Structure 1
């Protein structure tokens, strides 16, 4: 007998998605509140507040032995990094070549190529992987490693794909990653090892998802306050649809490819692969674009695909979390053939 899906049951199962949609709505009404330099001072409250909390919770919830075992999964890490920095740029070049026949603005197409060269973020993929019951440790490790690699690889990819390059502030980026990721992660592990958190039943997952919603809200506030791009309404619509198709294709391919390699990857690994290998960082991406195209009149045009890509990846992730959670559970309940 099938359970009747009530509004309360739907909200309980999909509250992250409902929260994301609510964040978008509130940001559209009053974007100034959560924008950079706004009353919430998001340049500090997000980076050193919400993101810090996300990784502190990861440190509190992760098993130390799982961390060491995950570090040894070289095939998993290699798959994610190659997919991020090799497959996606090559695939996007082919995708852009197809789009060029539809008369899409050339700077928008360059913006799509730029997005493909970007490193992964260090928050959204982690929290989505955890919520979908994926391999959270692998998500953290590959997000951090991908960000470090992006400091060196992204300028090379931009040079190869666009004929332009830039110098990413190496020291500043490394310090930022240490403060926002490694410090709270280590602090969480230290607190866990010295206290009895298991008996406290703290709502760590709910707190982490709430922190992610705050990050999403501020991201959309900045998105809604983007100045005039100089593109027509049709160019913007084409950009949104192009980014959406690109992301769906990349997530589908990463899931299918990883699923074909099931002898190497568990269902939890596949969830981490799908989110970590396809997400792109707005935090690192925008500074790179501003340095590379400083003084260019086309900066807003080439930035548009990245501004669209970042919130879209979170919306798609929110849509998929519940289904992926059910899929992981279904894989656990399958009995191996006799």
Structure 2
């Protein structure tokens, strides 16, 4: 009844849940042992998310997603070409009004890899090409471990950084291993998950709420908000929102002009418009030693919140499209012909 009432007024219940999570984190942030528990809960939720994806997706769908080079190329171009160019343009326009640490933070946002968890979760909620999103977001993070430090050196003249074996291990243990286990068990549990989609939906949405709570708690405990003026904070928010809106618009327009299916468009929009805070904060610790790290990662934290809210709304809009509107992704037509 509550969901129907909110929908009547055009209010997304999940967006309210996100706002409530931020409010809880602001009033009751996790710190000390609580923060460790929250981070462990995020790790478990993400691992469970990828296990369920592995159990639900067919190996053929994963392989087709990996070989969908046009989609992967467009997401890669958005992440490592479009974002940096827009970031340089916006910081050139507004750079004189912000401290150098915030300018560096805005550039840093633009050269980070895409998120993995939320990109795939929102793609799933929106009924998009999850297999392609999984491959695209994962490949983006693998390239990001090399490209992000190089772009920091090139654009920010920062010393340090390099290839992180710990990040590779994290991706392998937290994402790839659960997915492979799900693939191995798909024969037995896959049909059940296809019939009962509520568990996957709960993990999709719940994992994002956990990430929001843990990330916002970390910022509250670190006292980031006391290190910046309201004017600076407002301008950073404006730049982040303009940057996100521009990328969402361009990726949507490009995917439609290039003839991608609606499912592929969803994967492109969600994977190509995101920036990973989970990768970004650990990278910032390495790439900006001895600098005001709190101010440098502040634009990333704000952008992360903005992208979650915006993509939550977009995902629900995509999900409400009629089921018959689904179009064939590249390779489906050939596969159907081969079966006949």
Structure 1 length-normalised TM: 0.88
Structure 1, unmatched stretches of 5+, are: 334-338
Q: Over aligned residue pairs, what C-alpha RMSD do you find?
A: 2.4
Say whether residues 1:110 and 2:108 are aligned partners.
Answer: no
Partner residue of 1:216 out of 196, 200, 212: 212
Q: Residue 81 of structure 1 is aligned with which of 63, 76, 79?
A: 76
**C-alpha distance 330-90 of structure 1, shift in aligned 2 (>3 A):** farther
Aligned match of 1:194? 188
2:133 pairs, out of 139, 145, 161, with 139
**Is it true that 1:175 corresponds to 2:169 in the alignment?**
yes
Tell me if the contact between 2:126 and 2:319 (Cα under 8 Å) persists in the aligned partners: yes
8 Å Cα contact 2:38/2:210 also seen in 1? no
Distance 1:207 1:292, change over 3 A: closer
Report Cα offsets for 1:62-105 as digits up to 9, x if no partner. 1222112222211111111121011210121112112235x233
Following superposition of structure 1 onto structure 2, how do residues 286-297 of structure 1 map, counting pairs within 5 Å?
Answer: 286-296=281-291
Distance 2:207 2:319 in 1: 20
Report the Cα distance in structure 1 between the residues aligned to 2:208 and 2:168, rounded to whole angstroms.
22
Q: For each residue in 1:308-328, what CA deviation from the matched residue of structure 2 results, as whole angstroms up to 9, or x when unmatched? A: 111221111112112222357
The residue aligned with 2:223 is 227
1:88 and 1:202 map into 2 onto residues whose CA distance is 35
Tell me the matched-pair count: 322
Q: Return the alpha-carbon distance in structure 1 between the equivalents of residues 281 and 10 of structure 2.
A: 35
**Match of residue 50 from structure 2:** 55
**2:149 paired with 1:155:** yes
* More displaced 10-residue stretch of structure 1: 92-101 or 155-164: 92-101
Does 2:253 align with 1:239?
A: no
- Give distance in 1, aligned partners of 2:322 and 2:176: 28
Q: Specify which structure has the higher proportion of helix.
A: 2
Which of 255, 280, 283 is the aligned partner of 1:285? 280
Instruction: Select between 162-171 and 213-222 the one with higher mean Cα deviation.
Output: 162-171
On the 8 A contact 1:37/1:43 being kept in 2, the answer is no
The 1:293–1:206 alpha-carbon spacing in structure 2 relative to 1, beyond 3 Å, is same
Aligned to 2:21: 23
1-side partners of 2:58 and 2:90: how far apart? 41
Q: Which residue of 1 aligns with 2:337?
A: none
Q: Is the 8 A contact 2:39 2:214 kept in 1?
A: no
Give the deviation of 1:200 after TM superposition.
5.7
Give how far 1:16 is off: 2.4
Distance 2:243 2:275 in 1: 12
Shift of 1:130: 0.6
> What CA deviation, in whole Å up to 9, does each residue of 1:152-188 have, x standing for no partner?
1001111111111432452111110011111111111
d(CA) in 1 for partners of 2:137, 2:241: 22
Quote how far apart the aligned CAs of 1:148 are.
0.5
CA separation in 1, counterparts of 2:248 and 2:118?
15
Equivalences for 1:62-77 in 2 at 5 Å?
62-77=57-72
Structure 2: 5+ residue stretches without partners: 328-340
Write out aligned runs for 1:264-275 (5 A): 265-275=260-270
CA contact under 8 A between 2:118 and 2:208: conserved in structure 1?
yes
Q: Give the superposition deviation at 1:289.
A: 1.3
1:305 to 291, 299, 311: 299
Asked if 1:99 corresponds to 2:94, the answer is yes
TM-score, normalised with respect to structure 2: 0.87
- Compared CA separation, residues 156 and 17, structure 1 to 2 (3 A): same
CA–CA separation in structure 2 for the residues paired with 1:243 and 1:115: 9
